[in-house]
């Protein structure tokens, strides 16, 4: 890649501090020992996404996928590290440039109902932002909204309705139309089809693929459904407890995962063409992000763990062109 | 299969008499279940899977009512049983696992209290013996250090652990049949695989029969012996898992399988089913799938019967796909 990536994360971390509630403070007054807890939801993640690429982000619940997505979309500020848009640190941009960059990155959520204002009509949900940001004039908004709705496969004659008057799949399309209306280059999709039925999931996935084709969009596609990610993504990033453990071209990763966690995870995916399989699960629970295991976070569940793994966190190393993995086994 | 039948459901109808009209949530469902068998019940949300499960447990509340049909458990007729009779059966001969384990667990009681009570409600055993049985049940679903866990409260468990405890409770009185309603849908794949692994062993080792309700065809492929596909309150296809998933007869099953990403080549458009499921309050005359079906014609304005097209394979369709044009690659 010669040009700067469309989006890059440089050593980004996001920490959440759980403050003491009133009761706990009182306990402390009486000699208690309640301390604030810090969650390293995203821990020193670096990542480059090229223009037109679809990157799938996977991992178990609580590993930091949504948090990373929100940092990318500017919903959360990073606690440390930099987010670069077309090679420039978003934090260093001034007023207009910054607004431009943040409009170009749009996020689509899991639950379309809670992300759509129930008291707004569809035409306002879709039309408001482009009008406010001066992308279309007031006179053109109506036409523009019609085009956006058609674009996502909704009948424009529905535009006076409210969100609750639509099905789940239709609501997700409204959310997509709203994001498209500000002419983004980059979509962060966080479990955007998880709440939909299989047949409706296929409709929305097809829509994402069409939009990529027609508008040249770039995606960060967060999903716990590895089948969906395998289908859609060019590259897959696997997270475990806040850290990236492997990143690889999708075809290579699914054919031959390197990291022991990646192997275990892919092994678990039920596939429609494997029948009466014997499930052979990874042992153990997902550890608490409040007290992640020392060294390699995966060591308590890893079948290959060595003494060193308990002490030292493995660094991400290149194991093949365009492919990195963080495991001590890769050091010959 | 010539195993002994434990459950025989014939022409089950459960309707909801609402202000807006009569919702025929379950409308003529028939199937049987043999010892040690896992029947996968699949379908989109609202197709009547949960109501079918509730009907088998005598848990349908007004405005819902079991309108007609027969449910024979080990030869005994359950339909029309008074609540008193259901209470004797429930948890002892037939038990249910819910998507949300907190439907089973009481948040303010310790696990041991809940389990011991569940045993002593049905069996005249000492507290000590009941406690021992509870301990064994926890161990059987793969809960480490069950002795300590017995003294814990539900909130001290992760989602996956809670679901295992709920399964352990369902197993306590060694029921003949368990109805599991999407018990792993909310869990991570690694945790789902752990639970599927335990469930698989239980059915093989103890002869427990199970109805596994899910919308995930891949899970059904990995776990079930037979599958029944529901659409708008009716079973539209039923048969051995391999046969149904490899060469579905019904256009809906065909479309569902096509919607699963792993059935399609990477990056290609998914074969999608157009439109969405009809409202149960305004079902069309004739086949309920007609509006979405690529094969629909004039004949389909008459409701098709569920007929046996091959030994052990049923489908409700005037123009079923025949075996040669299989799901893979076959035109819809
Ligand atoms: N606003 C917040 N305040 C405190 N902690 C948070 C906050 N948001 C996330 N966390 C914590 O950060 C960690 C990562 O959360 P995140 O939502 O990013 O996980 P995820 O990978 O998206 O999980 P899921 O698959 O369940 O959506 C979790 O431990 C979570 O509890
Ligand atoms: N208490 C109720 N009152 C009215 N309708 C109901 C009730 N419970 C379920 N239904 C209807 O029955 C149908 C089947 O529901 P359900 O069995 O929960 O579907 P699923 O297949 O998603 O489990 C739905 O259309 C639902 O709206
Ligand atoms: S570093 Fe050690 S514990 Fe971590 S994945 Fe590699 S072998 Fe396993
Ligand atoms: S009966 Fe007709 S409409 Fe119904 S599934 Fe068969 S072909 Fe399609
Ligand atoms: Mg999330
Ligand atoms: Mg249900």
Give the CATH number for residue A203: 3.40.50.300
Task: Please list the rounded mean pLDDT of every run of 10 residues in chain A (332 residues).
Answer: 84 88 76 78 95 95 91 94 95 89 90 83 95 92 94 89 86 92 95 83 90 94 90 96 96 95 88 73 78 94 95 96 96 76
- Residues of B in Cβ contact (< 8 Å) with A224: 188-189
Region of poorest pLDDT, from A288-292, B149-153, B164-168: A288-292
CB-based neighbours (< 5 A) of ligand 6, an ion:
B 50
Nearest CA to ligand 1 atom 4: A16
Contact between chains at A281 and B271 (C-beta distance less than 8 A): no
Question: CA–CA separation, A135 vs A281, rounded Å?
Answer: 51
| Percentage with pLDDT > 90 across chain B | 63
Query: Is residue A14 included in any domain, yes or no?
Result: yes
Q: What are the pLDDT digits (tens) for B260-315?
A: 887 667 888 888 898 888 888 888 899 999 999 999 999 999 999 999 999 999 99
Question: CA–CA separation, B240 vs B162, rounded Å?
Answer: 32
Average pLDDT across chain B, whole number: 90
Q: Ligand 2 in contact with B53 (CB < 6 A)?
A: no
Domains of chain B: 5-93+177-191+206-330 (3.40.50.300), 103-172 (no CATH)
By most ligand atoms within 8 Å of CB, the mutation choice from B284, B289, B316 for ligand 4 is B289
Q: Ligand 2 in contact with B18 (CB < 6 A)?
A: yes
Contact between chains at B225 and A276 (C-beta distance less than 8 A): yes
Which of A54, A241, A253, A272 to mutate to test binding with chain B, by most B CBs within 10 Å of its CB?
A272
Q: What are the pLDDT digits (tens) for A288-331?
A: 788 889 999 999 999 999 999 999 999 999 999 999 999 999 98
Contacts of B227 (CB under 8 A, 6+ apart): B39, B40, B41, B42, B220, B238, B239, B240, B241, B244, B245
Query: Is residue A78 included in any domain, yes or no?
Result: yes
By most ligand atoms within 8 Å of CB, the mutation choice from A264, A306, A311 for ligand 3 is A306
Nearest-CA distance A100 → chain B (Å): 30
Distance of CA A199 to the CA centre of its chain: 23
- Residues of B in Cβ contact (< 8 Å) with A272: 217-218, 221, 245, 257, 260, 262-263
Q: What is the mean pLDDT of residues B116-139?
A: 90
Handedness of CA B164, B166, B169, B175 (dihedral sign): negative
Sheet with B5-18: list strands edge to edge.
Answer: B21-34, B5-18, B64-73, B76-77
In this complex, is the C-beta atom of A278 within 8 Å of any C-beta atom belonging to chain B?
A: yes
Q: What are the pLDDT digits (tens) for B6-49?
A: 999 999 999 999 998 999 999 999 999 999 999 999 998 889 99
Nearest-CA distance A272 → chain B (Å): 4
What pLDDT shows up at residue B326?
46
Q: What is the pTM of this model?
A: 0.86
Cis peptide before A127 (omega within 30 of 0): no
Higher local confidence (pLDDT), B268 or B57: B57
* Nearest ligand 2 atom to alpha carbon B230: 21
Contacts of A133 (CB under 8 A, 6+ apart): A99, A103, A182
Question: CA–CA separation, B70 vs B12, rounded Å?
Answer: 6
**Helix, strand or coil for residue B226?**
strand
Residue pair B114/B108 in contact (Cβ under 8 Å)? The answer is no
Instruction: Assign B2 a pLDDT band (cuts: 50, 70, 90).
Output: low
Residue pair A250/A330 in contact (Cβ under 8 Å)? The answer is no
Query: Is residue A2 included in any domain, yes or no?
Result: no
In this complex, is the C-beta atom of A231 within 8 Å of any C-beta atom belonging to chain B?
A: yes
Ligand 1 contacts (CB < 6 A) are A 16, 18, 39, 41, 59, 61-67, 224, 289
Q: What are the pLDDT digits (tens) for B72-87?
A: 999 999 999 999 999 9
ipTM exceeds 0.90: no
């Amino acid at each position: 890649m010669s040009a700067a990536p469309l989006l890059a994360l440089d050593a980004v971390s996001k920490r959440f501090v759980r403050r003491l509630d009133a009761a706990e403070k009182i306990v402390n007054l009486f000699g208690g020992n309640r301390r604030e807890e810090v969650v390293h939801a995203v821990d020193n993640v670096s990542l480059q996404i090229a223009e037109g690429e679809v990157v799938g982000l996977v991992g178990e619940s609580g590993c930091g996928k949504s948090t990373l997505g929100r940092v990318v979309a500017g919903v959360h500020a990073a606690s440390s590290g930099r987010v670069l848009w077309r090679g420039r640190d978003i934090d260093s941009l001034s007023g207009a440039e910054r607004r431009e960059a943040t409009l170009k990155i749009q996020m689509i959520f899991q639950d379309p109902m809670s992300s759509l204002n129930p008291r707004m009509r569809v035409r306002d949900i879709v039309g408001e932002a482009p009008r406010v940001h001066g992308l279309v004039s007031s006179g053109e908004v109506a036409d523009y909204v019609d085009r956006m709705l058609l674009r996502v496969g909704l009948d424009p004659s529905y535009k006076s309705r409210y969100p609750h008057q639509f099905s789940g799949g239709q609501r997700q399309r409204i959310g997509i139309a709203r994001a498209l209306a500000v002419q983004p280059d980059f979509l962060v999709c966080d479990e955007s089809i998880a709440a939909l039925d299989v047949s409706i999931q296929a409709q929305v996935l097809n829509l994402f693929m069409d939009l990529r084709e027609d508008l040249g969009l770039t995606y960060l596609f967060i999903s716990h459904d590895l089948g969906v990610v395998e289908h859609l993504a060019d590259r897959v990033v696997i997270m475990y407890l806040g850290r990236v453990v492997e990143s690889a071209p999708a075809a290579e990763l699914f054919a031959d995962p390197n990291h022991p966690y990646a192997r275990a995870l892919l092994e678990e995916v039920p596939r429609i063409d494997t029948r009466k399989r014997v499930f052979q699960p990874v042992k153990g629970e997902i550890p608490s992000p409040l007290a992640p295991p020392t060294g390699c976070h995966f060591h308590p569940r890893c079948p290959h763990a060595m003494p060193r793994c308990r002490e030292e966190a493995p660094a991400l190393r290149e194991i093949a062109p365009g492919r990195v993995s963080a495991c001590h086994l890769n050091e010959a | 299969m010539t195993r002994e039948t434990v459950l025989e459901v014939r022409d089950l109808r459960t309707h909801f008499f609402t202000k807006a009209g009569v919702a025929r949530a379950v409308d003529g469902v028939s199937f049987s279940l043999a010892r040690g068998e896992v029947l996968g019940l699949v379908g989109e949300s609202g197709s009547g899977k949960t109501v079918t499960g509730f009907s088998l447990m005598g848990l349908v509340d007004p405005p819902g009512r079991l309108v007609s049909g027969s449910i024979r458990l080990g030869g005994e007729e359950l339909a029309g049983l008074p609540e008193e009779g259901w209470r004797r059966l429930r948890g002892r001969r037939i038990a249910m696992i819910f998507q949300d384990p907190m439907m089973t667990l009481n948040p303010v009681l310790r696990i041991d209290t809940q389990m011991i009570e569940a045993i002593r409600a049905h069996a005249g055993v000492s507290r000590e013996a009941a406690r021992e049985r509870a301990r064994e049940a926890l161990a059987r679903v793969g809960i480490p250090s069950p002795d300590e866990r017995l003294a814990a409260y539900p909130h001290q468990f992760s989602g996956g652990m809670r679901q295992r405890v709920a399964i352990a409770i369902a197993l306590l009185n060694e029921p003949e049949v368990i109805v599991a309603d999407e018990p792993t849908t909310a869990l991570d794949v690694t945790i789902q695989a752990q639970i599927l692994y335990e469930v698989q062993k239980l059915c093989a080792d103890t002869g427990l029969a199970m109805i596994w309700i899910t919308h995930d065809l891949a899970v059904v492929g990995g776990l079930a012996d037979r599958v029944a596909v529901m659409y708008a309150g009716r079973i539209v296809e039923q048969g051995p898992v391999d046969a149904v998933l490899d060469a579905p007869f019904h256009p809906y099953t065909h479309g569902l399988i096509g919607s699963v990403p792993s059935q399609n080549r990477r990056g290609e458009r998914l074969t999608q089913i157009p439109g969405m499921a009809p409202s149960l309050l305004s079902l069309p005359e004739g086949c309920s799938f007609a509006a979405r079906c690529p094969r629909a014609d004039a004949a389909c304005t008459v409701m098709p019967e569920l007929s046996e097209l091959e030994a052990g394979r049923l489908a409700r369709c005037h123009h079923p796909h025949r075996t040669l044009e299989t799901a893979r690659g076959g035109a819809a």
